[in-house]
Amino acid sequence: MLVEAKVVMMEILEGHVPAASVRYCYQLWERYQFDFVASKPRRTRLGDFRAQPGYRERITVNVNLNPYNFLITYLHEVAHLEVYRTYKRRQPPHGKAWKSHFYGLLVPVMNDTVFPISVLTPLRHYAQNPTASTGTHLPLMQALKTIDAPQTDLVMVSQVSEGQLFRLNQKVFVRGTMRRTRIVCVEKVSQKKYLVAAHAWVEKV
């Protein structure tokens, strides 16, 4: 492996994951020798794993994630790589094998040296039965979103009381009931119902 590639990878990790996890993440990359890209932000995914016969596996993680989200996503994708190397494509993408590998990769970093307690507590709960997206585990998603909290009076829609008004995209809504990771909200003027992500930033009215 070229020295230049090693330097680049170390620089990427030092700039995107918690300092206490850099060496661990680098060792995983060095062990498996996959291509890694800190990708431009994508709306539909935080990271990605791709494998084609005859080519090195490729992992991408969105460059705009905070260090804790970046680390979790990085390990999520490395778990896919481990499952691919072990079983090839004979396993469901987020089945038992992936859950087991992902949990195993999280164990070395699930401590308060790497994560703040606000993230570590829901992460430990999520890791017991991880899902395809951290967005489906509301406490963890809220903890990660709080790290990125804008320096304004905005709040997450999940923090708005049911029946209370809030403003989103220049429209006023009435906060309704929770449906898993989304909240049913009614646009005040049109009375149309919308599903709003529970972690969306909104302005109280």
Residues 141 and 162 in one domain: no
List the domain range (segments joined by +) for residue 85: 3-147
| pLDDT at residue 117 tops 80 | yes
- List, for residues 23-67, the tens digit of each pLDDT value: 999 999 999 999 999 999 988 899 999 998 889 999 999 999 999
Both 103 and 179 in a single domain? no
* Beta-strand relationship, 35-39 and 58-62: parallel
Structurally, the chain folds into a number of domains equal to 2
What is the reported pTM? 0.81
Q: Are 110 and 125 contacting, i.e. CB atoms less than 8 angstroms apart?
A: no
End-of-domain residue from the set 99, 125, 147? 147
Answer yes or no: do 50 and 143 share one domain. Answer: yes
pLDDT at 22 > cutoff 60: yes
Q: Are residues 47 and 74 in the same domain?
A: yes
Q: State the Cα–Cα distance between residues 149 and 204, nearest whole angstrom.
A: 15
Q: Six-digit token pair at 20?
A: 């206490």
CATH number for the domain that contains residue 192? 2.30.30.30
In whole angstroms, what is the distance from residue 67 CA to residue 84 CA? 26
Final residue of a structural domain among 130, 147, 164: 147
- Give 197 or 15, the one with higher predicted confidence: 15
Q: Which of 86, 110, 109 is nearest to 98 (CA)?
A: 86
What pLDDT sits at residue 135? 81
